[in-house]
Amino acid sequence: MKKILQLITIFTLIITLISCKSASEDTIKVIATTTPHGEILEFARDLLEEKGFQLEIIITSDYYFPNPAVSAGDADANFFQHVPFLDKYNTENPNSQLSIGAYVHIEPIGIYSNNYNNVSEIEDGATVLISNSTSDHGRVLNLFQSAGLITIKEGVDITSPTLIIQDAIETNPKNLVFSANVSPDFLFAAYTNEEADLYVINSNYVLEGGNNPVTESIFIEDTANNPYVNILAVKESDLSSPKILALIEILQSEAVQDFINATYNGSVIPA
């Protein structure tokens, strides 16, 4: 059923892109996930209109379609991913790479539990459900190290998309059992259904579930010097395009930063 829903989403997105492929030079087409990316873009819409550009937002829940779509010219940009995710895509697709247009915000990941109120209560052998997105695995381990639950081997690059969880862990005194068999967008549902003892969920999905990551999590990621900044991705040849330059300027503006701070109360942090 999960695969069917994902296929329907991708098919709908393809039809949407085909139907609006002939955008004018004054129209900016951006593929984005709903929260907070789509919401930030909605705020930016009026600011872009003041500069003479129309913003067309194409919403998707799929993580693997937006980069090829932008590379193929079906959209001008996408806004859904952090830097290591784009790095992984570029490594795997050397002939259709994308560039970073703007660093916009950070969505801290957190540890969530239905069984424990803080990390000191976590019991031996607790199960940990994390996403199957390999670009996040080092981030998860760094989060657990920050929480004092594990240590990572010296020299491990936590931003590497090829990191192997068990090989990267130096010590695991609570014998935590990590399972990475859920797509990022289904983690909050797994948490709601109590499928494990601990869950690592990105703030955007917690927000979509109607909860505040700052108060709901039992431990949340530090955003200082965080390499997992969410970005606007574009083709390198479009970096000098007037409409992309206008979009970059707006997304990095003080007005957008103020919107992020006022709207998300620490669950999303301006870059």
pLDDT in tens, 177-198: 999 999 998 999 999 999 999 9
Average pLDDT over residues 104-129: 98
pLDDT for residue 2: 45
| CATH code of the region 109-220 | 3.40.190.10
pLDDT for residue 15: 47
State the Cα–Cα distance between residues 35 and 61, nearest whole angstrom.
Answer: 10
- Per-residue confidence at 61, pLDDT binned at 50, 70, 90? confident
268 Cβ contact list (under 8 Å, min separation 6): 36, 105, 106, 107, 203, 204, 207, 260
Q: Which residues pair with 99 in a beta bridge?
A: 234
pLDDT for residue 7: 45
For 46-57, b/e burial (b = at least 16 CB within 10 A) is ebbeeeebebbb
Average pLDDT over residues 13-34: 70
Q: Does the structural domain 2-107+227-270 have CATH classification 3.40.190.10? A: yes
Whether residue 12 has pLDDT greater than 60: no
**Where are the CATH 3.40.190.10 domain residues in the chain?**
2-107+227-270, 109-220
pLDDT for residue 4: 46
Q: What is the pLDDT of residues 132-167, one digit of tens each?
A: 999 999 999 999 999 999 999 999 999 998 899 999
Kind plus residue range of the DSSP H or E element containing 32: strand 27-32
- Dig out the tokens for 163 from the structure: 């990191």
DSSP string, 37-50: IIHHHHHHHHHHHT
Q: What is the pLDDT of residues 78-100, one digit of tens each?
A: 999 999 999 999 999 999 999 99
Whether residue 268 has pLDDT greater than 50: yes
Distance of CA 266 to the CA centre of its chain: 16
